Every structure is written in C-alpha cells, then in structure tokens.
Amino acid sequence: MKTSDVIVIGGGLAGFMAAAAAASRKQSVTLLTYGSGSLPLASGAIDFFDAKIPESAIKDLPDTHPYKKIGAKALDDATKFFCEITAQANLPYVGRLSTQIPIVTAVGTLKYSALVPESMDASKIISKSKIFVVEIAGLKDFYASMIIDNLKKHFHDRTFQAVKIDLKLLGGRDITCMDAAQLLTDNEQPLANELKALNATPDDAIIIPPILGVAGNFSRDVVKTQLRADIFETTCLPPSPAGMRLQRAFMKYLQKSGVKILENSKVVRGVVEGKKVTGVVVENVVREKTFPARKVILATGGFYSGGITLRDFDKPKEPIFDLPVFFPEGAENWSNTELFSGKPQGFSTTGILTDDKLRPVDSSGKVLFDNLHVVGANLGGCDKIFERSSGGIAISSAFKAATI
C-alpha cells in the first residue's frame, strides 16, 4: 500500500483540523475515523480560554500547559486557517484571540467565545431597540418567555416581544433543532414568510433557534435577504445544527484537498521501529490492515471518546501506542469535594504530556517517538472544561502538529 505523508487518527475537531492543515501543505493525507466524532454535539463556537482577553490569559499560563507547548504563533496561524476553511464553505466566523463574542444560549443567558459563527454573533443586539424572540410550534427545548426573562438581565432598557409561529412542516410531532434545520434546508420560504410578517425594522433584532439549515449560511442568506432586521441564532441542546455545519465545512475542504477519508476504521495499534512509527493497523470484519505513514497524528480524544481508557482507577491507558498517561497522584487530587467549587477537577487534567513539537514524552521528559504527534483532548496537564479551552487547544495543537 502507498505510504501516506501523514496519517491522522480521529474524526473530531482536532482530527479534521490536522488533516486539513497537512493537506494545505500539499502532503498526502489519510484520515482514519471511527464513529461520527463530537462536532454534531458541539455549539459551533470555539472557546480558547475563559477570560475577557484570552490572548493575555494564555501568556500567563505555566510552561507545562499545552498552550505553551503549542506557542503563540501556532495559535494565531491556526485561528486564521480555521476561518479560511469556514469562509470557503460560506460559514464565516467572527472574533479573534483578543476578544470574546457573545452568543445567546437556548435559555437566554449569554455565552462568550473567541470564535463564533456569524449567524450567532449577538454583539449587535445591544444597539437594537426592540428584540423579537421567535418560538417554533412543535420545537422542543426552546421557550421564548424564558429566554426573554433572562435576556432582560443583560439588556435592561430594551423592548422584548415573544412570538410563536407554526411552519406547518413538522407533521404534528415534536422535533429537535436538528430536525427543523434539515427540514428547512432548501425549503426556507415558510420561515421567511413568518418572519417578514413581524414587520421588524433595521432597529430591531430577531432571535430564533439554530434552524437555518445544516450547510453553511446558505439557508440564512435566503431568509436574511428578505428581512430588514438582523437575525440571530441561539445555541441548542445536542444534536447541534451549528456543529453539523462546521463538520460539513471541514469535510468539504478535506474532500476538495484530496484527503483520503476512511470511516469506521478502528485503529488497534501502531507499527513501530525504534523511535519511529511506520504505520498503523486497522481492524475490520475480515482481517487487519496496515496503513504505512511517514508521520502520525493522534487525535482520538480523552476519556469521553475512548482515546484514553481507565479500567483500573489509577491506571489510565492510551490504547493504540500504549503511551504513558499523566494522572494526578493521590485520590484526594482526583476530584474536588464540591462539584461546583470554582476550581479545576483533577481527573480532567489526565492526558498525554509532550515536548514543544507535541511528541509524547515519558515521566522524565524523554521523547518516545520522533514522528508521532499528540493533539486535542488527548493532551494532558490542564482542565480544558474548567478553562473552556478545549476548542482552542484542538485547532491550535492540530495545526502545529500538521505543519511542524
């Protein structure tokens, strides 16, 4: 079999980003995925760090943090490259590391992220005099009155109006935002007609659930051009149309770039010669198959996706290459007594430690493999959930590993 310049293992955000960045360098890339990845479950926004200015907060992190291994240049370059990919799919993102953009959540609170889909950028709402919140008949988990009650805490002097519309597309059953987005793709006019009936002016804003299609901003463009008011989508419970749009944007880029994508490919082990990984072995129904590579990027995720397993309480495992996994020592350091204590959870810092080239190291800092790079949720040494840094670490580590 032909040797790939790069094999990427994993079909989540980090895996897609790594494959895309490698392909942009004219390298032959094979992407091995097992399962659908986590993007359809994601909000679509990319969190870099829970701070007013993520860029400044990242500079003050300890040298052991993954961001310090990644470096400022890779962070900046990854952000630009990510926005290039989404723009090509008519899914423009706004924001940068120097700012945080507000998003309206499904319950009416405000969530701030560094990179936000244009359709969710709620920063313009503050300049609007009247805000319509549109509820869809039959749509689960979206209640205009609750959203308005919470938004009033942020926009005290605004006028709000709850509106309920019936698109008559739902067949009399309750549906999710994903169902509605799929039904409205290439069939946007019923929604446009209902929103036009609001007679909203340029001084108004219209807030709707994230139902404007599942591919780029094409459905949004159809509706928006028929309205005078700005229209904003909220987040929603999974599955997420915004996450699906992002997944499709990456798939479109990878396919156009000639990346070989092999789905349902369970990688069971690496092929190793000394400190070099020469390929990986994939298990299928009939037999095992070896895929040779000059470089391998591990993006299989952490506990939640099986990239790190924990059969014994204090012995986490990386199942493909049997890499050493950092784990906080002592049961008292595993978790906080109070779940909502405002402090990191020890177990969330579990993961693989690396050098500055994102190559796995042992407890003494010795590089184990010269051409194996670890990215995304596989990386240890920080609580990505507490920091709200998982998206930023995913795209920046993936970019660096692919372009180093």
pTM: 0.95
How far apart, in whole angstroms, are the C-alpha atoms of residue 267 and residue 289? 9
Which residues, in sequence order, are bridge partners of residue 111? 103
Q: What is the CATH number of the domain that holds 121?
A: 3.40.50
CATH number for the domain that contains residue 287: 3.50.50.60
Give the pLDDT confidence score for residue 339 in this predicted structure.
67
Q: Look at residues 3, 11, 7, 1 and name the one whose alpha carbon lies nearest to residue 307.
A: 11
User: What is the pLDDT, as a whole number, of residue 22?
Assistant: 98
Task: Indicate whether 17 belongs to any domain.
Answer: yes
Residue 324: predicted pLDDT = 96
Q: Is 229 exposed, middle or buried (0-12, 13-18, 19+ CB in 10 A)?
A: buried
293/223 same-domain check? no
Do 266 and 329 share a domain, yes or no? yes
Q: Match 């069939």 to its residue by tokens.
A: 187
Its domain, for residue 13, covers 6-37+256-403
- Residue 270 inside a domain? The answer is yes
End-to-end CA distance of the chain: 25
Name the amino acid, one letter, at 216: G
Structure tokens at 213: 């299609």
| pLDDT tens-place values along the chain, 404 residues long | 799 999 999 999 999 999 999 999 999 999 999 988 889 999 999 999 999 999 999 999 999 999 999 999 999 999 999 999 999 999 999 999 999 999 999 999 999 999 999 999 999 998 999 999 999 999 999 999 999 999 999 998 899 999 999 998 766 678 999 999 999 999 999 999 999 999 999 999 999 999 999 999 999 999 999 999 999 999 999 999 999 999 999 999 999 999 999 999 999 999 999 999 999 999 977 789 999 999 999 999 998 889 999 877 778 999 999 999 998 887 777 888 776 777 888 888 999 999 999 999 999 999 999 999 999 999 999 999 999 999 999 999 999 999 99
> Per-residue DSSP letters for 24-36?
HTT--EEEE--S-
**Nearest C-alpha neighbor of 44 from the set 99, 141, 123, 111:** 111
Virtual torsion, Cα 357, 359, 363, 365, nearest 10 deg = -40
Instruction: Choose the final residue of a domain: 234, 264, 290.
Output: 234
Q: How many domains does the chain have?
A: 2
208 and 267 part of one domain: no
Is residue 395 within 8 Å of 54, Cβ to Cβ? Answer: no
The alpha carbon of 82 is separated from its chain's Cα centroid by a whole number of angstroms, namely: 11
pLDDT on residue 57? 94
- 245 domain residue, yes or no: no
Task: Supply angle C-alpha 355, 356, 359, rounded to 5.
Answer: 45
Q: For residue 168, what pLDDT is reported?
A: 86
Q: Cβ contacts of residue 147 below 8 Å, gap of 6+?
A: 104, 106, 107, 108, 133, 207, 234
The pLDDT of residue 312 is 76
Rounded distance, CA 374 to CA 34, Å? 17
**272 and 229, same structural domain?**
no
Tell me: do 222 and 274 sit in the same domain: no
Same domain, 337 and 394: yes
